[in-house]
Amino acid sequence: MEDRVTLDGILLKCDQDPTKVRNPSDCENARIANERLATQRVDPEVEKRRQADFEKAREQLRLTQDKLRQEQEAKTKVDAYSLPVVPVDPSAAAKGAAPAAAPAPADPSGPPLAGNATH
């Protein structure tokens, strides 16, 4: 039970009038919870140091993971200068052959284009 307000309310009821308490085990549980919460109180300086250590360790872990990620990316990256050279067929280049992906001329029998409409 970590809600201090509820815990204090139960303890207040138990201490003021124990005969009106519905369940005596609630009083016992509230007392135990109160004792545990009292022992959990930590010195602020210790907590601050613990938080700083945690942040330092988290930052170190993040840097390590970033370094590993960059190494993995470097391994999968393709360097264009290290690829094998594909020889070009000199006879095709000398003839002035057009590239295979050249667009075909417009078909005059097809539908008129927006800019070429004759109206």
Q: Which residues contact 36 (CB under 8 A, 6 or more apart)?
A: none
pLDDT band with cut points at 50, 70 and 90 for residue 19: confident
Is the pLDDT higher at 2 or at 44? 44
**Could you give phi then psi for residue 65, rounded to 5 degrees?**
-65, -35
Mean pLDDT of all residues in 86-115: 62
Q: Is the pLDDT of residue 85 over 70?
A: yes
Mean pLDDT of all residues in 3-10: 81
Q: Is the pLDDT of residue 53 over 80?
A: yes
| pLDDT given for residue 28 in this prediction | 86
